Structures are given as structure tokens and as C-alpha cells.
């Protein structure tokens, strides 16, 4: 089914200003502290008292390194169990990034990824930019075979329309536009995807039916957070775009306004599968979350949205207030 945003399109740098400002400040602050820390390390007078401890521990207070997640684990297992008894199929993965403590429920259960499959494409595009093969200002042309009306509005544009890569990335990630995805796919080679999947160790990312698990998919966002594949600059560019999406009725609904959430949603109304995955930037306490829901025939998308909001809120409240 077609899903369109009723919001007026605006450049990504003008949407959710408060969240983006917070993200920029967060990144810049860490860069400054990192620079100061490295400068101190080079000083002849400086002696690192904790040479065997991860360097990032120098920048975050001890109170933000809690590892006690068993109470929230029991809560989530109980809630998911109740919904499974009603016929829902659910895959959930949560990871507290400061410590790596995680919760995985139904970690082997696979779901059709819908628009979540656009994230690897965004990685491949940004890698070409990072390598100097493309620029954000380069233009790609809309062909007739690119048009797809399932999701987004670019299909309404005339054949021959020229769009910058920056514009297409915005459409791909913010509006989840299928036409933008097809334009990229036509201009990319399989080699870029193979390089990405090999670099990140994604041998089991998709199964033979092109399905993914919540736990495995979350690695996409962990790679952005740690900039383990793309540079910090190019990872940040994608995260800034992802934090300005208009889709806020899934996991975003359980997160207070003003807290940055860089995420990607997936919707398949035909098969009633709904997905959301991303990074919640609770100050000093960021975490990863992916939730995948296959809705039974007697239930609706609104039921999935309710579950998304509930589980997201429970996790946010625990992380923010523990």
C-alpha cells in the first residue's frame, strides 16, 4: 500500500532543529574532549593512570556505565510474551552503548525488511562519496523504469528530472522513497554491497528469503555510531539525515520530544509487517534499539504502533532514569 507523508518537504538541515543542534553539539563536544585528551597524552608530564581501560571512559561519568538491565529484561520478555499470545510475531534487540549490555528477544526470528533494506544502499552511496567517486552535489537522472509509487512521491516527477545525490539521500532515508532507491540501485554495482557486507561481517545478514533478524540488523546502526566503516564525517552526515525523518508513530512515539533519534522505519502494509531501528541519544546514555512486528490478520497497523510506543517508552524510561 502507498504511504505518503502529509508534511511539506524541507531540507534535512531545517527539520527537527532542536534534535539536530543537540546531535551537532554532542559530536563537537566529543571531538573537542578527544582532542584535549590526546593533547594531554602527548604531554611529557601526563601519565595515564588507567592504561588498560578504554579511553572513552575518561569522558563519561561512572554513573552512566550501569550494567544492571535484568529488571528491564524481565519486563520486556513478559510484555512480548503477552503480545505473542495474541498472535503477534516480535523480534526485539536493545543495546546500551556505554557498556554493551544487551537484550535480545526472539533473536533467530526473521522478518521481511521492507524499507530497512535502504540503509545498506545509503552506506554504499556514502562510501563512494568518501572515496571521491561521487559528490553530494552530483546529479542522477530519473528514468521511466525508476518510478515506483509504493512509497514516496518522486515517481510523480517527469522522466529526465535531475536530482542531486544529497536530495536523493534525503528522499531515501527521510521519506523512504522507493523511486530514489531505484535510481541509486541502477547507478550502483554489486561490488559496493559486497564490500560493505564483507567489511561488516554480514555473512548471515539476509537469509535465502531475504529476511533479517532484529539483532543482526542493529549492527548497521552500530557501524554508524562507531564509524567503523565510514569516516566520522560521513557517518555523521547519514545520522543527521536519519534524525530528521517525519515518521514518528513507531519507536519515536515513546521517546520524549527533543531527544535525538536517528532511525529508519520499514512498512509493509500488504503483509502487515512493521519495523523500526536506530540510535536513541539519551544524554550520556545512548542506546540501540530495533523492533520488528508481524501483525496477525485480525489486528492492524495501529496495534503495531501501540506496541512500538509502549516498548520504546519502557526502555527509554529505564535508561534515562536508572
Q: State the SS3 of the chain.
A: CCECCCCCCCCHHHCCHHHHHHHHHHHHHHHHHHHHHHHHHHCCCCCCCCCCCCHHHHCCCHHHCCCCCHHHHHHHHHHHHHHHHCCCEEEEEEEECCCCCEEEECCCCCECCHHHHHHHHHHHHHHHHHCCCCCCCCEEECCHHHCCCCECCHHHCCCCCEEEHHHHHHHHHCCCCHHHHHHHHHHCCHHHHHHHHHHCCCCCCCCCCCCECHHHHHHHHHHHHCCCCCCHHHHHHHHHHHCCCCCCCCHHHHCCCCCCEEEEEEEECCCCEEEEEEEECCCCCCEEEEEEEECCCCCCHHHHHHHHHHHHHHHHHHHHHC
Q: Give residue 14's pLDDT.
A: 55
**How far is Cα 275 from Cα 214, in angstroms, rounded to an integer?**
9
In which order are the strands placed within the sheet that holds 287-294? 102-105, 89-96, 287-294, 273-280, 261-268
Assess contact for 276 and 291: CB atoms under 8 A: yes
Range in 61-70, 90-99, 223-232, 304-313 the model is least confident about:
61-70
Q: Give residue 6's pLDDT.
A: 45
Q: What is the model's pTM?
A: 0.84
State mean pLDDT over 112-136. Answer: 97
Higher pLDDT, 29 or 180: 180
Q: Give residue 117's pLDDT.
A: 96
pLDDT tens column, 200-245? 999 889 999 999 999 999 999 999 999 999 999 999 999 999 999 8
Q: How confident is the model at residue 21 (pLDDT cuts 50, 70, 90)?
A: low
Task: Show Cβ contacts of residue 96 under 8 Å, excluding neighbours closer than 6 positions.
Answer: 66, 67, 69, 102, 285, 287, 319
Assess contact for 262 and 221: CB atoms under 8 A: yes
| Pairing mode, strands 89-96 and 162-164 | unpaired
Take residue 73 and report the three cell numbers written for it. 529484561
Q: Is the pLDDT of residue 267 over 50?
A: yes
Output the average pLDDT for the chain.
Answer: 89
Q: How confident is the model at residue 2 (pLDDT cuts 50, 70, 90)?
A: very low
Q: Is the pLDDT of residue 45 over 90?
A: no
Instruction: For the chain, list the domains and their CATH numbers.
Output: 12-321 (3.40.710.10)
Amino acid at each position: 500500500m502507498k504511504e505518503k507523508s502529509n508534511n511539506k518537504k524541507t531540507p534535512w538541515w531545517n527539520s527537527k532543529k532542536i534534535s539536530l543542534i543537540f546531535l551537532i553539539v554532542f559530536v563537537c563536544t566529543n571531538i573537542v574532549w578527544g582532542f584535549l585528551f590526546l593533547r594531554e597524552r602527548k604531554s611529557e608530564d601526563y601519565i595515564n593512570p588507567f592504561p588498560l581501560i578504554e579511553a572513552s571512559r575518561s569522558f563519561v561519568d561512572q554513573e552512566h556505565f550501569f550494567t544492571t538491565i535484568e529488571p528491564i529484561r524481565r519486563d520486556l520478555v513478559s510484555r512480548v510474551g503477552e503480545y505473542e499470545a495474541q498472535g503477534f510475531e516480535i523480534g526485539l534487540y536493545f543495546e546500551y552503548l556505554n557498556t554493551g549490555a544487551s537484550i535480545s528477544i526472539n533473536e533467530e526470528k526473521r522478518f521481511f525488511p521492507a524499507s530497512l533494506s535502504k540503509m545498506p544502499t545509503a552506506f554504499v552511496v556514502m562510501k563512494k562519496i568518501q572515496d571521491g567517486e561521487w559528490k553530494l552535489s552530483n546529479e542522477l537522472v530519473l528514468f521511466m523504469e525508476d518510478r515506483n509509487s509504493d512509497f514516496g512521491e518522486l515517481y510523480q516527477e517527469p522522466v529526465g528530472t535531475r536530482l542531486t545525490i544529497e536530495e536523493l539521500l534525503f528522499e531515501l532515508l527521510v521519506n523512504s522513497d522507493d523511486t530514489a532507491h531505484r535510481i541509486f540501485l541502477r547507478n550502483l554495482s554489486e561490488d559496493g554491497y559486497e564490500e560493505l557486507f564483507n567489511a561488516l561481517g554480514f555473512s548471515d545478514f539476509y537469509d535465502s528469503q531475504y529476511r533479517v533478524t532484529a539483532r543482526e540488523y542493529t549492527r548497521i546502526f552500530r557501524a554508524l555510531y562507531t564509524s567503523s566503516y565510514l569516516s566520522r564525517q560521513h557517518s555523521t552526515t547519514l545520522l543527521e539525515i536519519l534524525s530528521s525523518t517525519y515518521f514518528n508513530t513507531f519507536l519515536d512515539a515513546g521517546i520524549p520530544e527533543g531527544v535525538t533519534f536517528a532511525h529508519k522505519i520499514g512498512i509493509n502494509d500488504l503483509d502487515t509487517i512493521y519495523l523500526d531501528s536506530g540510535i536513541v541519544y539519551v544524554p550520556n546514555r545512548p542506546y540501540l534499539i530495533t523492533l520488528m512486528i508481524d501483525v496477525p490478520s485480525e489486528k492492524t497497523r495501529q496495534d503495531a504502533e501501540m506496541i512500538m510506543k509502549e516498548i520504546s517508552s519502557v526502555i527509554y524510561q529505564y535508561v534515562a532514569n536508572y
